[in-house]
A = this chain, B = another copy of it.
Amino acid sequence: MNKLFFRNDYGEGAHPIVLRKLTETNMEHTCGYGLDAYSLRAAELIREKCGKPEADVHMMVGGTSANMIALSSFMRPYEAAIAAETGHINVHETGTIEGSGHKVCIAASKDGKVLPEGVRAVVNAHTDEHMVHPRVVYISQPTEIGTVYSLEELRALRAVCDELDLILFADGARLGSALTASEATATLQDMAALTDAFYIGGTKNGLYFGEALVIVNPALQKNFRFMIKNRGGMIAKGRLCGVMFLAALENDDYFAWARHANAMADIIREGMERAGIAQFIKTTTNQVFPVITREQEKALAEKVEFEHWGDVDDERVAVRFVTSWATKEEDVRALCAELEAL
C-alpha cells in the first residue's frame, strides 16, 4: 500500500489542464527560446494581471536559477543581497548567489520575514569600500517557513528600500499559496506595485517547471535575455513555459489550485488542533509544521511521506507536511485520522 504523500508540492507532473494544453499544442511549429506567440501572450497576460503594462516578463526554468540570474543582473560585483537567515538563497541553493560573486548579508527577521529595521541595520553596518555594498533585499512570499508578508509589511519594506536606495526582490516560488491564504492582504497587483521584481512560481503550483519573472522597475530590464543565456537559463523549447503559464492563468486556475492547496492544509491544521498537536510555526499557506514526539514521528513515517524539519527539544521534533493542487481531500482526511490516532 502506498503511503500518504505530503512530502512536497513538486512530487507529481503537471495539472491536467496544463497537460491538456501542452498536448493540444504539441505539434505546432514555433520559434525557439521564448520568443514564440505563446510566450508573448503569457507575458502579456501577466502584465495585465499585474497592472503593469511596462513590466518585462521572462520565463525562468526554476527558482534557484531565477534568483541567481535576477540578483546577479541587478547587482554590480561588490554589491550584496540582504536576506533572512532562513532565506532560500542563504541556505538551500548551494551558494548560487555567492557563485555569481555576491555576498548574502543576514538581516534580523521574525517568523521568517525580513524586518525593515533589520534591513536598516545591515545597511548601517556597511560603511565604506572595505565592506560589501548591500543592494537587494531578497524576500520570499510566502517565506521558506510558510508565513506571509501582509500588505502593510510589504509597504514597510518598500519604504525602507526607497529610503536606502535598495532593490526589493520577491521569490514567489509559492506565490499562489501566499496570495490565496486566509490571512493574505497583498494581491498580485500589490506585489507588482511594491517590488522591483518578483516571480510567479509555476513549478510548485501545477506546471512541469517554470517561474514567470516580472521585472517591474525599468532600470533593471535592460538586456535581461543576455543574462538568462549567459547564466545557462535559456531553453530551446521556451514555448513550453508560455503554453503552461497560459493554461494556468487564462482562467485564473493558477489561483484556484493554490486555494485548493491551502484548503487542504487548513484541514490538516484543524486536525492537528483536534489532536492537540502544536504548530512549530503558525502558517496559513500550504506548508504545515506539526510538533510531535520522536516516537510519533517514527510511527507516522510508516504510513505517511513527509519531511523531518528539525529538533525542537530532546523529546520533540518539528516535521513538515506540504499540500498542493494534487492533494486529495481523502488523503488529508486520512492524515488527520492518523494524527488523531497518534
- Chain A interface (Cβ within 8 Å of chain B)? 2, 5, 7-8, 10-14, 16, 19, 22-23, 25-33, 61-65, 68-69, 72-73, 76-78, 80, 91-104, 129-133, 203-204, 208-209, 223, 225-237, 240, 305, 326
Q: Is the CB of A236 within 8 A of B223?
A: no
A25 to B72 CA separation, bound complex (whole angstroms): 37
- Beta-carbon contact of B103 and A80 below 8 Å: no
Q: Which B residues are CB-close (under 8 A) to A226?
A: 76, 78, 94, 129, 133
Interface contact B237-A203, CB-CB below 8 Å: yes
A131–B91 CB distance below 8 A: yes
Q: Looking at the complex, which one of B13, B65, B131, B227 makes contact with A233 (CB distance below 8 Å)?
A: B65
Check if B230 sits within 8 Å of A62, measured CB to CB: no
Q: How many monomers of this chain does the complex have? A: 4
**Complex contacts, A7 vs chain B, CB 8 Å:** 29, 31
Q: Tell me whether B129 and A62 are in contact (CB under 8 A).
A: no
Decide if B96 touches A240 in the complex (CB within 8 Å).
no
Q: Least Cβ distance of A39 to chain B in Å?
A: 13
Q: Is the CB of B223 within 8 A of A208?
A: no
Measured in the bound complex, the distance between the Cα atoms of B101 and A98 in whole Å is: 5
**Contact A229 B129, beta carbon cutoff 8 Å:** yes
Q: Whole-angstrom distance from the CB of A285 to the nearest CB of chain B? A: 17
> Nearest chain B CB to A15's CB is how many angstroms away?
9
- Given A65-B233, A101-B101, residue A22 in contact with residue B11 (CB < 8 A): no
CB nearest neighbor in B for A14: B26
Main secondary structure of the interface of A (DSSP, over half): loop
- Chain B proximity of A122: nearest CB distance (Å): 12
* Contact in complex: B77, A10 (CB < 8 Å): no
| Contact in complex: B14, A30 (CB < 8 Å) | no
Contact B133 A223 (CB under 8 A): yes
Residues of chain B with a CB closer than 8 A to A236's CB: 8, 10, 62-63, 203-204, 209
CB distance from A42 to the nearest CB of B (A): 15
Contact of A68 with B204 at beta-carbon distance under 8 Å, contacts A23-B23, A29-B5, A32-B10 already known: no
20 interchain pairs, CB-CB under 8 A? A5-B29, A8-B236, A11-B31, A12-B27, A12-B28, A13-B240, A14-B26, A62-B232, A64-B232, A77-B231, A78-B99, A78-B229, A78-B230, A96-B231, A97-B98, A99-B231, A103-B104, A208-B240, A209-B237, A209-B240
Contacts of A204 in B (CB 8 A): 236
The answer to whether A209 and B235 touch across the interface, beta carbons within 8 angstroms, is: yes
| Selected contact of A27 from candidates B13, B104, B208, CB within 8 Å | B13
For residue A16, which residues in chain B have a CB less than 8 angstroms away from its CB?
26
- Give chain B nearest CB distance to A22 CB in angstroms: 6
Whether the pair B130, A223 counts as a contact (CB closer than 8 A) is no
For A32, give its contact among B11, B132, B233 (CB under 8 Å).
B11
Q: Using Cβ atoms and an 8 Å threshold, which residues of chain B touch A237?
A: 10, 13, 203, 208-209
CA distance A96 to B130 in the complex (A): 10
A229, B12: Cβ atoms under 8 Å? Answer: no
- B235 pairs with A94, CB closer than 8 A: no
With a CB–CB cut-off of 8 A, which chain B residues contact A25?
13
Q: How far is the CB of A30 from chain B (nearest CB, A)?
A: 6
Cross-chain contact A230 with B96 (CB below 8 angstroms): yes
Contact A94 B132 (CB under 8 A): yes
